[in-house]
Structure 1
Amino acid sequence: MSIHLHTRPFLKMHGLGNDFIIFDAREHPLALAADDVRALSNRRRGIGCDQLIVMKPSDRADVFMEIWNADGSRVGACGNATRCIGKIMLEETGRDLISIETEAGLLSAKWDSTDISVNMGLARTAWDEIPLAREMDTLHVELTVGELSDPVCVNMGNPHAVFFVPDAEEIDLATLGPELEHHPLFPERVNASVASVSGDTIRLRVWERGAGITEACGSAACAVTVAASRRGLTGRKATVLLDGGPLRMEWLADGTVQMAGSTTLSFTGEVAI
C-alpha cells in the first residue's frame, strides 16, 4: 500500500542555539494554522524549533518574514531569525545589503565579516508602545514577581521586561518566567529577561513568550542593550552573552539597534504538512 503525502522542503537553522524551521513560500504559497506550527515545532513528534519562519513575497522589501512561536502564536520580531533570513538572502542575491519586511516593520541585513549584522529597527520605550496595562515610567516599572523587581521595559517589535540582577545565573527563570509572561501588566504577554552587567558586557538569560527559555533571543539582546544604556549601566555599545554565545550590539543615534552574530545551517529536509 502506498501513502501519498504532501511534503515541503525546509531549512533548519539556528542563531547561537535559538533554532528555526524555515519554509520558502515565495513561489509556492504555504498557509499554516496554529495546530500545524505546534506539530512541526514539537521536538519529539515534529522537527522541533523555538520559532517557525515562512519566507513570503514582499512589495516593500526583498522578502517578508512571517514568524510563529512554537506554541502557535504569531510574533512581530525575532532577531536571530532575522540574521538567518538575512544570510539566506545575502547569499542568494550576492548583494551587500538586503531588506526584510516583518509585521513589526522593515529591517535590513548585511555582512559583518563572516557574521550577519541586522538593524532591528527602533527601540520603543513609551508605556503604551510596550504595551503596559496602565501608564507608568518604563525605566522603573512598578512590578515585583518573586525576587525580581523594578524592570526596564522596551518594545523591539515585541514586548520585553529586563530585570538587572547581581547574578543572572542564580535566578530561577524556569519558575518565574511563566508568571512574568502572563502577568496582567502585559496585555500582549512579555519576554522576560534577567541581566548582569560587568563593564560593557551583559550576561543575559531569556524567557521568551510562547517558547520558554531559549539559548539566545536577538530582540531581547536589543532590549537589554537599550535598557542598560538608559539606566546608565553601559554605553550605547555592549557585548551580550547569551546561553548560546555572544552578540555584538549597538543602540544607534537614530534610535535603532544594530546586532551582529553568527548563524548556522543545521540541516535541510522535507516534511509532511
Structure 2
Amino acid sequence: TPGVDFRYRIFNGASGEEVEQCGNGARCFVRYVRDRGLSERDTVRVETMNNLLELSVRADGEVGVDMNQPIFELPRVPFDPTGLVPRLENGFELWPLTLGGDGPDAAVVEAAVLSMGNPHAVQLVTDVDAADVAGIGPLVEAHARFPRKVNAGFMQIVARDHIRLRVYERGAGETLACGTGACAAVVAGIRLGWLDHAVKVDTRGGRLTIEWAGPGHTVVMVGPAETVFEGDIEL
C-alpha cells in the first residue's frame, strides 16, 4: 500500500484466531522496529487487517498510536439492535443486553457499543475490582447480537480524567490490559458526557493515556513499550 512502511498480522495468543486490531500490540510493534533498526524514523505508518495506523516513539520513550476514528455505525461494529430500545445519555445510546437467556435467572446490563477496528461493549461499574468479569464477561463476549463476538469492557470512573478498566477479550478471556478496550471505554465515556478529552486509564497491567477530541477526530493512545524477552520458536 502506498505510504505504508510496514504491514503486520495479529493472531490471538489464546485461540490462535487472526484479529483485526490490537492497540498494545501496535506499541510493541513500533518498539520492535526501532530496537531492531528496521527504521530510524520516530513515526511510521503500518497496515493491519482493516486499518492504517500511525505509530510514534516520543522523546520520553513512550509510544503514541493514532488509532483512527472510532466507528459508531452499528452494522460496522457489527451489532444487531433489532427490537432493542436504547437509553440515551447525552444523546448517545446505552443498549440493554439480556444475559443468561429469557428465564428467571436472566440479567440485563447496559453497554455502549462501538468499534475501534474491533468490536467493544463497554459497561459502567461502581467498583472494577468487585465486578463479575469472569461471570458476565463471557456472556457479553458471545452474545448473539454480536455476530463476530465482542470485547467486554468494565469501566469505573474515578474522575473526569481518570478511569479504571478491566476487559474480557474475545477468544482470550480477561487480560491484564487491552489498548483498544481503553480507547473504546474513553470514547464511550466522552460521548456519554462522563469524561474529559484526555483520560488516564489504569488497567491491571499498567497505565495508558487516551486522548479524543470528539466525533470527526482520531483517538490517540500513549503508553510504554519495553522489550522483556527475546528467544527462538521452532515452527
TM-score class normalised by the smaller sequence:
0.7 to 0.9
Instruction: Give 1:1-273 correspondences, 5 Å limit.
Output: 60-69=3-12, 70-91=14-35, 92=37, 93-112=39-58, 113-135=60-82, 139-145=93-99, 149-199=109-159, 200-253=161-214, 254-273=216-235
User: Quick one: distance in 1 between partners of 2:73 and 2:199?
Assistant: 23
Instruction: Tell me the amino acid that sits aligned with residue 267 of structure 1.
Output: F
What's the CA shift for 1:139? 2.2
| Shift of residue 90, structure 1, vs aligned partner | 3.8
Distance change in 2, residues 1:96/1:122 (3 Å): same
The alpha-carbon deviation at position 148 of structure 1 amounts to 6.0
Query: How far apart in 1 are the matches of 2:132 and 2:96?
Result: 20
Q: Is there any run of 5+ residues in structure 1 with no aligned partner, and where?
A: 1-57
Conservation of the 8 A alpha-carbon contact between 1:60 and 1:101: no
Aligned length: 216
Secondary structure of 1:132's partner?
coil
Rounded to whole Å, the distance in 2 between the matches of 1:159 and 1:144 is 18
In 2: Cα distance, 1:120 partner to 1:90 partner: 19
CA distance in 1 between partners of 2:108 and 2:117 (Å): 24
Q: Following the alignment from structure 1 to structure 2, what is the Cα–Cα distance between the partners of residues 134 and 183?
A: 12
Instruction: State the secondary structure of the residue aligned to 1:183.
Output: coil
Q: 5+ unaligned residues in a row in structure 2: which ranges?
A: 87-91, 100-105
8 Å Cα contact 2:9-2:48 kept in structure 1: yes
Superposed CA RMSD: 1.7
TM-score (ref. length: structure 1):
0.75
Q: 1:244 to 1:100 in 2, by over 3 A?
A: same
CA deviation after TM superposition for structure 1 residue 60, in Å: 4.7
Partner Cα separation in structure 2 for residue 60 and residue 102 of structure 1: 14
CA distance in 2 between counterparts of 1:242 and 1:268 reads: 25
Q: SS of 1:178's equivalent? A: helix
Cα separation, 2, equivalents of 1:144 and 1:119: 34
- Give the SS at the match of 1:151: strand
CA–CA separation in structure 2 for the residues paired with 1:208 and 1:94: 33
Matched residue SS, 1:142? strand
TM-score, reference length from structure 2:
0.86
Instruction: Specify the SS of the correspondent of 2:182.
Output: helix
More strand by share: 1
